[in-house]
Structure 1
Amino acid sequence: MGVTGEERICPICGKDNNCQHGQGGCWCDNIKVPKQVLDLVPEDKKGKACICKACIEKYS
């Protein structure tokens, strides 16, 4: 079972986050997202989808 729908959308920029959970591992399994980037996620979207690489790099 792969990632679908809302789980594929970065909660910060709204673009595809390229998450591969459920498909043998994902790039996001081995990355630490800084607190200041996590703080940018709207309250209603926290814990629902991965932040994309571009936003992690842009706001870190």
Structure 2
Amino acid sequence: MPPDTDSPAPDAGRCPLCAGRNGCAMELQRLTGQVQPPCWCTGASFPPDLLDRIPAADRGRACICAACAAPTVP
């Protein structure tokens, strides 16, 4: 199901699971216009059960933070 476009967009700099800063390099680049190195998350694997915890309206709109992903980061 696509994200609910009637609800306000989540802060892309915050984790959709804990609302902490997610350290997303892609979001930093979008905000500043300054090229960033690849984000840590591009090398991480996120199991379906972790992704399923993200509220449906927030899926694909903000990165999970390293702390929430810790059990899955290689």
Aligned partners of 2:15, 2:25: CA distance in 1, in Å?
Answer: 13
Measure, in 2, the Cα distance between the counterparts of 1:35 and 1:57: 15
CA RMSD of aligned residues (A): 1.6
> Are 1:47 and 2:52 an aligned pair?
no
* Higher gyration radius (CA): 2
Which consecutive unaligned segments of at least 5 residues does structure 1 have?
none
- Structure 1 length normalisation: TM-score? 0.80
Query: What one-letter code is carried by the residue in structure 2 that aligns with 1:31?
Result: A
Q: Distance in 1 between matches of 2:70 and 2:50?
A: 9
Could you report, residue by residue, the CA deviation over 1:1-42 in whole angstroms, capped at 9, with x for unpaired residues?
xxxx81110000001001111422110011011111000000
- The yes-or-no answer on 1:26 pairing with 2:31 is no
TM-score, normalization by structure 2: 0.66
Q: How many percent identity over aligned positions?
A: 36
Match of 1:56 in 2: 69
Does the residue aligned with 1:12 lie in a helix, a strand or coil?
coil
Following TM superposition, the consecutive aligned residue runs of length 4 or more in structure 1 with deviations greater than 6 angstroms are none
